[in-house]
């Protein structure tokens, strides 16, 4: 390798060792080519197949992982953020690529990150067909890195979900989130570490375990739970609850003149959400438009399909809650308190 390049801060040999590690973790010996290959199954019969692509990152949750020196689950977040978006379009995720930019290649750190990426791919049932690890010593501080991902799925055009299939009277079914997922962490970090200076070892009594453990809970991947519903055409629309919280994301799954009316108290809100709201003196609108409030995905289902949807979810041990309904209204998302009667 070039000694001049190494003196400039880039160790190509370390990069080659990373590639060996990822090949071993993923079982894909073809990694390292100029492009990733993915064979389309011959039995995939569709009238009008459409590829659905999505890309995303993990945001400033990475800074929590770096501070905690815990990198094993952040790759799961990355895969989840991409494949859940594709699933919400009505497509089956097929393959995934990652991008890791860092200041210095620490092989143990990179192996931990990629272990999470591979685990996420396995859980989502997608192939890891390629990626990039870019060592840029002048771009990132020592120990810091950035992570992005790209996923592609496939669907028959007629099976794609859009808001046109939603009608008044449809039922909202919420699938629980695994904590905060990977959204709102700039606000989370501001409240916990800038305004109040808590440590990652701090234990809030209502949370019951260290703050670092709570914040790094990986984003849930819903592919195995929701894909059977798509295959049976049981869902009218889906909202993946990411940045923008319940308010902005559920609105994206509805047509004009219809509103998602959530029944407050019909699902459990994780204690960390209440802790953040209290410490940050957040309004209900602040919380609802930033965090998932314990719902990582919301399904819009016609009333006659509610029973089969709940049965399908129960068959794969997926907890689900009926959290509201679609009503006529100008405001896309509303919250009905239990005291409203």
pLDDT band for position 14 (50/70/90)?
low
How far is 179 from 294, CA to CA, in rounded Å?
6
Compute CA 227 distance to the chain's CA centroid, rounded to the nearest angstrom.
Answer: 16
> What is the rounded distance in angstroms from the CA atom of residue 46 to the CA atom of residue 174?
30
pLDDT at 340 over 50: no
- Please say whether the dihedral angle defined by the alpha carbons of residues 242, 291, 284 and 176, taken in this order, is positive or negative: positive
User: Cβ(59)–Cβ(194) under 8 Å?
Assistant: no
pTM to 2 decimals? Answer: 0.91
Phi and psi, residue 299, nearest 5°: -100, 135
**pLDDT score for 15:** 56
Whether 272 and 180 have beta carbons less than 8 Å apart is answered as: yes
Residue 11 has pLDDT above 90, yes or no: no
Q: Please state the domain extents for the chain.
A: 3-35+47-159, 163-340
pLDDT higher for 241 or 3?
241
> What local confidence, expressed as pLDDT, does residue 25 receive?
65
The reply to whether 3-35+47-159 and 163-340 are identical in fold is: no
pLDDT in tens, 82-119: 999 999 999 999 999 999 999 988 999 999 999 999 99
SS (H, E, C) 179-215: CCCCCCHHHHHHHHHHHCCCCCCCECCCCCCEHHHHH
Mean pLDDT for the stretch of residues 61-70: 97
Packing angle, helices 107-124 and 74-88, rounded to 10: 30
For the purposes of burial, counting CB atoms within 10 Å of the CB of 165, is it exposed (0-12), middle (13-18) or buried (19 or more)?
middle
User: What is the per-residue pLDDT across 273-327, written as a single tens digit (0 to 9) for each?
Assistant: 999 999 999 999 999 999 999 999 999 999 999 999 999 999 999 999 999 999 9
pLDDT for 84: 98
What pLDDT does 2 receive?
60
267-303 burial: b if 16+ Cβ within 10 Å, else e: bebbbbbebbbeebebeeebbbbbbbbbbbbbbbbbe
Contact between 64 and 216 under an 8 Å Cβ cutoff? The reply is: yes
Give dist(CA 206, CA 198) in Å, integer.
15
- The dotted CATH code for 3-35+47-159 is 3.30.1330.10
Let me know: does 222 contact 84? Beta carbons within 8 Å: yes
The burial class, CB within 10 Å (0-12 / 13-18 / 19+), for 226 is buried
The pLDDT tens digits of the residues spanning 16-43 come to 566 676 666 666 666 666 778 888 775 5
| Res 4 pLDDT > 80 | no
- Domain 163-340 sits in which CATH superfamily? PurM-like C-terminal domain (3.90.650.10)
What average pLDDT is seen over the chain? 91
> What residues contact residue 205 under an 8 Å CB cut-off, 6+ apart?
none
């Amino acid at each position: 390798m070039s000694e001049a390049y190494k003196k400039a801060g880039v160790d190509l040999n370390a990069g080659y060792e990373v590639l060996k590690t990822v090949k071993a973790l993923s079982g894909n010996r073809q990694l390292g080519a100029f492009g990733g290959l993915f064979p389309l199954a011959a039995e995939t019969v569709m009238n009008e197949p459409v590829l659905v692509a999505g890309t995303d990152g993990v945001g400033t949750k990475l800074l929590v992982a770096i501070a905690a020196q815990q990198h094993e689950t952040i790759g799961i977040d990355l895969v989840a953020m991409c494949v859940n978006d594709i699933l919400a379009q009505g497509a089956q995720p097929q393959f995934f690529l990652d991008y890791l930019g860092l200041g210095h290649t620490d092989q143990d750190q990179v192996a931990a990150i990629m272990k999470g990426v591979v685990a996420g791919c396995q859980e989502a049932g997608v192939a890891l067909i390629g990626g990039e690890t870019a060592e840029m010593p002048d771009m990132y501080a020592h120990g810091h890195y950035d992570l992005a991902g790209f996923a592609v799925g496939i669907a028959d055009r007629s099976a794609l979900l859009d808001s046109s299939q939603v009608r008044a009277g449809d039922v909202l079914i919420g699938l629980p989130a695994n904590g905060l997922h990977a959204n709102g962490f700039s606000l989370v970090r501001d409240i916990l570490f800038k305004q109040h200076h808590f440590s990652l070892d701090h234990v809030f009594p209502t949370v019951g375990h260290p703050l670092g453990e709570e914040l790094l809970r990986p984003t849930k991947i819903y592919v195995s739970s929701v894909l059977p519903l798509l295959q049976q055409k049981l869902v009218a629309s889906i909202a993946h609850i990411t940045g923008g919280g319940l308010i902005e994301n559920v609105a994206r799954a509805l047509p004009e003149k219809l509103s998602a009316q959530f029944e407050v108290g019909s699902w459990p809100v994780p204690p960390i959400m209440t802790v953040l709201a209290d410490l940050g003196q957040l309004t209900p609108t602040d919380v609802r438009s930033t965090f998932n409030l314990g719902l990582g995905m919301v399904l819009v289902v016609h009333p006659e399909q509610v029973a089969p949807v709940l049965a399908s979810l129960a068959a794969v041990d997926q907890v689900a809650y009926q959290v509201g309904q679609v009503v006529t209204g100008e405001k896309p998302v509303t919250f009905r308190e239990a005291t409203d009667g």
